[in-house]
Amino acid sequence: MAEFKELFQSGDWKAEKHVPIIEAPDKAKKGEWIKVTATVGKEVDHPNKTEHHISWMALYFHPEGEKFPYEIGKADFSCHGASAQGPDTSSVYTHHEVTFSFKTDKPGIIYASSLCNIHGLWQNAKALQVS
């Protein structure tokens, strides 16, 4: 049986539409709010249809020297064009982008994960320096 961590896929977000893009500063000051935005499909569009969509995205921060990461937040994307009339008959769609803010006194790694209902789990990471 595969380990859960082995189910996460990764790649170059400029070529692979499923990889979450992390937009955050490279450096931050201790105790100041850090704004992090994660998007799927910013460079290469990802479908947002009833039959093929991003279901959710989550952000984590793993401070240097600590055993576990902290979940910063998770967003579910619920509208993909479905209505009582059937798939892709609605004009309501959720955009797969999320922004969270957090603060820390330690450097570490920001992680983003996403779930495509057809192509599974995807991840990306970005280092954050704190002074």
The residues annotated as belonging to the active site are: 16-18, 46, 52, 116, 119
> In sequence order, what are the residues at sequence separation of 6 or more whose Cβ sits closer than 8 angstroms to the Cβ of residue 81?
48, 49, 50, 87, 88, 89, 90, 91, 92, 93
Q: Considering only CA atoms, which of 112, 38, 52 is closest in space to residue 80?
A: 52
**How far apart are the C-alpha atoms of 22 and 96, rounded to whole Å?**
13
Whether the CB-CB separation of 13 and 124 falls below 8 Å is answered with: yes
Q: Considering only CA atoms, which of 60, 15, 69 is closest in space to residue 42?
A: 15
